[in-house]
Structures are given as structure tokens and as C-alpha cells.
Amino acid sequence: MIAKLETDGQGGPTVRLFNGPPRPIEVSEEVPLEIHDLTVAYHKKPVLWGIDLSVPKGKLVGIVGPNGAGKSTLIKAVMGLVSLSSGWIKIFGLPYKTSRTRVGYVPQRESVDWDFPVNVMDVVLMGRYGHLGLIQRPTRADRDIARESLEKVKMLPFANRQIANLSGGQQQRVFLARALAQESDLYFMDEPFAGVDAATETAIVTLMQELKDRGKTLLVVHHDLPTARNYFDMLLLLNMRVVAFGPTEQVFTHDLLQATYGGRLTILSEVAHEVKQRAT
């Protein structure tokens, strides 16, 4: 083995080359998410193709693209919920399987069974499970964190409410409170604005800004183009491939949006063109 990954005395990852002195890895903290040549396929049909991405720290990133563009699949790939056909994903410079616990996740609201026999507090406390050992039950401190998180999304009065008896917007806020309670550094949110009322939408935006200000990185799947422009620092235009990724003001252009939403035919022909060029 030429290079060996280990930790130094301070707990940071280091790399040792040719049995020389350990050197710290530089990429780790500043790059929360790095994806290289990621391809995901369902039944041999590619959904994501050759994704290269490096997300800087402390940014609020919107993932935008038409239906079937692979937005949710991208998040699921990072969460390890779908298997990768090729490529790799690194979170804070480490293989995604080892540092996934630094990731907070807000799934699509419909992805869970809201008749599940738990109340609001139970769901938010699930966000603390990553900080607890085997058998260990949530402590008073965990409950305090859960209560604070609920307070932030104005759901504290509902702490003992059965989750089946919540409105759509309230369900979404519970998920957000749970993500807050996870105290992660990198967040993935899958359409948090889908089917919520205006008040909840404002509350979510405020919360995302607050998280960003605390140095967290957020990637949010979003459907609505007009609001995307106002909500996010950076946009990832996705349609099976990365059409563009950059600061919102640079990426939110007619041509790039046209390329993203203009149908898959354009994208596929561009790919075919590229392949032809590479072959010659």
C-alpha cells in the first residue's frame, strides 16, 4: 500500500505516503460535498450521468431541473439509498460511507407513512439517534435540543400531537425540526416546499438562511423557478447531467435554463456530439 489513511493525535484525517511522516489532508473541511463521475441507472437506464460536482462550504444551493431530471436520485445516491453504477462521492473529504453521519436529511414528505404510531416529539428525537449509543435512550439534553428545534419551526405546542393529525405544512416543519436536531454540517432537503402553505414556506426560507449563516451547507431540491432565484446563493441546473453549477446570478440565464428545461433531446444530442468528438 502506498498511501494510508489514518488520524493524527488531534483527530483530523491525515495521509501517510511511502511510510513518510503523516501529512494532513487539505481538502476535507472546505469541501462538504465532492462528486466525481457519478452515474446512477435504474434497470440499465441512466438517471444520472457523469455528474461532477464540488460544493463549497456555507452555501445554500438549489437543485433545479425538470421532472425526471434525477434531482431526488442525486440526493438518494449521496444518502446511499440507491447504488452507484460508477463514480464516487466524498463528504468532507472522506468516502461517503464513513462520514454520512455528518449529513442531515429531509426526505420528501410523502416518502413516509404518516399513520405511523409516533408523535411529533418522537420524530424529532429520531434526529438525535445518531448521537446515542446502543440501548441508550434520549437524555434530557437530547430532549432540550429537540424542543429548541421545534421552537425554531414554531411547532413546540404540537410536541405531543400524533403525526397523523398534522397538516402538510406542519408535517414539513416536523421534518425540518428533526433535521435541526441532527446538528449536521451538510443538509439535503428533497422538495421541502412541496404542498406547504405560504407561512411555512417563509419559515423554511428563514431557517435555511439561519443554518447557512452558521456555516452549514444546504442542498435543496426545488421546483419553482421564479422563487429559486431569490432563495439560493448557488444553483445546480440538473437534467440527467450537470447543465450548470454556479452562483445564482451567473447561472440563472435564459440560455442555461433553456438547456435544462428544453427537453432531453438537446441534452442527448450534446452528449452524442461529445462522444463523437472524444472518439476522433
Partner 1 sequence: MNDFIPHFDFQRVFLAPWTANNLESTAWIALMGFLVTAACGLVGNYLILRRMALVGDAISHSVLPGIAIAFLLSRSRSATAMFVGALAAGIVTTVIIEVIHHKTRVKQDSAIGIAFTTLFAIGVILVSLFAAKVDLDQECVLYGEIAFVPLGEFTSFAGIVLGPPSVVRMAIVTLATVLLIAVFYKELLVSSFDPGLAASLGINAVLVHYALMCWLSVVVVSAFEAVGAILVIAMLILPGATASLISQRLPVIMGLTVLHAALSSVLGIHLATWLECSTAAAMVIMASTLFGAAWIFSPTDGLLRRWLRKRLAEPAVEPTVQMPQNS
User: Smallest gap, in angstroms, from Cβ of residue 99 to partner 1?
Assistant: 10
User: Residue with C-alpha cell 435512550?
Assistant: 137
Distance CA 108, CA 152 (A): 20
Q: Which residue has the cell 421545534?
A: 150
Among 56, 86, 110, 132, binds partner 1 (CB under 8 A): 132
Site for partner 1 in 47-106 (CB under 8 A): 76, 79-81, 100-101, 103-105
User: How many residues of this chain interact with partner 1, rule: CB under 8 A?
Assistant: 44
- Say whether residue 107 binds partner 1 (CB under 8 A): yes
Stretch that binds partner 1, among 55-63, 196-204, 210-218, 254-262 (CB under 8 A): 196-204
Is residue 110 within the footprint of partner 1 (CB under 8 A)? no
Is residue 162 involved in binding partner 1 (CB under 8 A)?
yes
User: Packing angle between helix 168-182 and helix 198-213, nearest 10 degrees?
Assistant: 10
Report the candidate in 174, 167, 163, 208 with the shortest Cα–Cα distance to residue 188. Answer: 208
Nearer to partner 1, 16 or 154 (CB): 154
Closest contact distance (angstroms) between CB of 255 and partner 1 is 35
| Among 182, 217, 248, 260, interactor with partner 1 by CB under 8 A | 182
Q: How far is the CB of 256 from partner 1 (least distance, A)?
A: 30
Interaction between residue 165 and partner 1 (CB under 8 A):
yes
194 makes contact with partner 1 (CB under 8 A): no
Q: Does 113 engage in binding with partner 1 (CB under 8 A)?
A: yes
Q: Which conformational region is residue 78 in: left (phi greater than 0), alpha (psi within -120 to 50 degrees), or beta?
A: alpha
Give the footprint of partner 1 on this chain (CB under 8 A). 43, 76, 79-81, 100-101, 103-105, 107, 111-113, 116-119, 122-123, 126-127, 129-130, 132, 134-135, 154, 157, 161-162, 164-167, 169-170, 178, 182, 184, 197, 199-200, 203
